[in-house]
């Protein structure tokens, strides 16, 4: 049997659910020649010094040779490519050139929970990308005995998807080394680049924008050095590069505890050791990271509790209060989704924006959107039109939405940790004000 046929047969027999099978397929393992006899499950891989065999269900659970497998290297390489024709996998509708690992991940995260409902995915498979495909089709589990609609996705399938995504975590050691000989050292030449940039900007080193530009250049240099390295699977987060910059290039700007635009530049990298003249700034940075961040997180938590108490009596009691006031909103691609479920005021009357296509009709226009800010109802009551569909569906749960503001503070403080990077961004003043 050929490698590819074996792989697909094992996938269809759900072997991707067995951790041992996956490891024996993508890594070299060491076990005694007869170990397989203790548990001769179908498609079990048997590695020998002379070749690869598998427990063949069509041959009375005896060994069959995998003809085109090379002994001494893993049966399937992590980056090994494979050509597939449409229909070889139940959710594959076009011919693709991909990796064996991509096929494995597709079986685990898409075929296992959804069968052929979601198409084969190439490239990076992110939870959010799959959720985007699911969100409009998601339905409650139908009562037992009722037929299932193949065009919909049910909650139990979604839960299986969650399990499948978590299941992948155990293969990180197989496919994603966290460090490599290259990623453990500084990029050669980065110190010279730092010296050159500092010299070029020596009169403006107090300016956060200048330091941000230097940081950016150092990180770009480092990224170029690590391009194509095996550590790239792990370093998918920008933060990894920010941390490497501090470790191997330059600590950079420290703001300390006060809310201010002034920064102090620490030119040494952590690898170079402490510049004792910057001792106060380094201590401030430590305090900002350990104590201050904790204390500010507490503020966010307190705000959540306070908002819960202050808003616990709010409820949605009527269909429409008839308000003709609203918030002005410039409708753009970036805020289209926000409009869905709300009503805009046209000719003194509320017009419901029910779908994203309805919202698109207002693209580029400034509309007046009904808002709880202007609800006419008395005391703690609100109407369905002012609060919009999503909140109206949970009339007693408005305080959950209110408390979100506190959670936003909490998130901001929590994310302000050491790996934070100074950066500059362009602001479109007209768009910001519209």
Q: What is each CA distance from 390 to 207, 312, 316, 371, in whole angstroms?
A: 45, 18, 11, 13
Instruction: Please report, as residue ranges, which positions from 225 to 284 form the binding site for Zn ion (by CB under 5 A).
Output: none
Nearer of residues 244 and 370 to Zn ion, judged by Cβ: 370
Contact string 133-152 vs Zn ion (x = CB under 5 A): --------------------
Number of chain residues interacting with Zn ion (CB under 5 A): 4
- Rule CB under 5 A: is residue 316 a binding residue for Zn ion? no
DSSP string for residues in 212-280: HHHHHHHHHHHHHHHTT-GGGGT--SHHHHHHHHHHHT--EEE--SS--S--EEE-S-TTT---GGGHH
Query: 25, 187, 339, 375: which one contacts Zn ion (CB under 5 A)?
Result: 375
Segment near Zn ion (CB under 5 A), from 18-26, 31-39, 44-52, 317-325? 317-325
- Rule CB under 5 A: is residue 369 a binding residue for Zn ion? no
- Rule CB under 5 A: is residue 321 a binding residue for Zn ion? yes
Min CB(383)–Zn ion separation in Å: 3
Segment near Zn ion (CB under 5 A), from 56-64, 113-121, 163-171, 370-378? 370-378
Segment near Zn ion (CB under 5 A), from 222-230, 253-261, 286-294, 375-383? 375-383
Segment near Zn ion (CB under 5 A), from 86-94, 307-315, 353-361, 379-387? 379-387
* 182-185 long-range contacts, CB within 8 A, separation 24+: 182/225, 182/226, 182/229, 182/231, 183/226, 183/229, 183/231, 183/235, 183/244, 185/248
CA–CA gap between residue 28 and residue 74 (Å, rounded): 5
Nearer of residues 4 and 401 to Zn ion, judged by Cβ: 401
6: helix, coil or strand?
Answer: helix
Sign of CA dihedral 93, 98, 100, 106: negative
Min CB(381)–Zn ion separation in Å: 9
- Rule CB under 5 A: is residue 153 a binding residue for Zn ion? no
Going by C-alpha positions, the residue among 238, 183, 250, 179 that lies closest to residue 213 is: 250
Min CB(329)–Zn ion separation in Å: 17
Min CB(323)–Zn ion separation in Å: 5
Query: 281, 383, 402, 410: which one contacts Zn ion (CB under 5 A)?
Result: 383
DSSP string for residues in 137-185: GEEPPPPTTSPPPTTSEEHHHHHHHHHHHHHHGGGHHHH--S--TTTTS
- Rule CB under 5 A: is residue 386 a binding residue for Zn ion? yes
> Looking only at Cα atoms, what is the longest distance across the chain?
83
Nearer of residues 104 and 321 to Zn ion, judged by Cβ: 321
Nearer of residues 235 and 386 to Zn ion, judged by Cβ: 386
Nearer of residues 199 and 378 to Zn ion, judged by Cβ: 378
Task: Note the residues at the interface with Zn ion (CB under 5 A).
Answer: 321, 375, 383, 386
């Amino acid at each position: 049997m050929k490698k590819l046929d074996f792989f697909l047969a094992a996938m269809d027999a759900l072997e991707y659910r067995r951790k041992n099978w996956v490891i024996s397929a993508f890594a070299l393992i060491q076990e005694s020649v007869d170990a397989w006899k203790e548990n001769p499950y179908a498609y079990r891989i048997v590695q020998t010094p002379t070749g690869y065999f598998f427990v063949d269900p069509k041959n009375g659970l005896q060994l069959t040779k995998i003809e085109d497998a090379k002994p001494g290297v893993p049966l399937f390489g992590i980056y090994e490519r494979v050509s597939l024709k449409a229909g070889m996998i139940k959710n594959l509708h076009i011919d693709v050139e991909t990796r064996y690992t991509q096929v494995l991940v597709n079986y685990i995260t898409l075929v296992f929970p959804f069968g052929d409902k979601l198409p084969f995915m190439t490239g990076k498979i992110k939870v959010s990308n799959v959720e985007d495909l699911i969100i409009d089709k998601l339905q409650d589990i139908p009562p037992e005995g009722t037929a299932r609609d193949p065009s919909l996705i049910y909650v139990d399938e979604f839960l299986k998807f969650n399990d499948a995504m978590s299941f992948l975590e155990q293969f990180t050691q197989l496919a994603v080394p966290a460090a490599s000989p290259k990623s453990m050292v500084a990029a050669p030449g980065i110190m010279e680049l730092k010296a050159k940039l500092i010299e070029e900007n020596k009169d403006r080193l107090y300016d956060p924008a200048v330091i941000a530009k230097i940081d950016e250049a150092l990180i770009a240099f480092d990224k170029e050095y690590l391009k194509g390295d095996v550590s790239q699977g792990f370093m998918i987060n920008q933060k990894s590069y920010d941390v490497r910059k501090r470790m191997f290039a330059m600590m950079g700007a420290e703001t300390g505890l006060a809310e201010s635009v002034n920064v102090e530049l620490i030119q040494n990298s952590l690898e170079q050791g402490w510049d004792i003249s910057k001792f106060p700034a380094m201590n401030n940075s430590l305090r900002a990271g350990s104590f201050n961040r904790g204390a500010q997180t507490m503020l966010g938590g307190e705000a959540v509790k306070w908002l819960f108490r202050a808003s616990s009596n709010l409820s949605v009691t009527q269909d429409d209060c008839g308000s003709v006031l609203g918030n002005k909103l410039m409708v753009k691609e970036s805020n289209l989704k926000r409009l869905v479920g709300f009503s805009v005021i046209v000719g003194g009357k509320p017009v419901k924006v029910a779908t994203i296509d309805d919202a698109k009709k207002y693209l580029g226009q400034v509309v007046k959107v009904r808002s709880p800010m202007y609800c006419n109802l008395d005391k703690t009551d609100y109407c369905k039109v002012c609060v919009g569909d999503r909140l109206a569906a949970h009339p007693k749960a408005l305080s959950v939405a209110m408390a979100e503001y506190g959670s936003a503070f909490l998130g901001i403080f929590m994310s302000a940790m050491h790996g934070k990077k100074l950066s500059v961004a362009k602001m479109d003043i007209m768009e910001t004000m519209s």
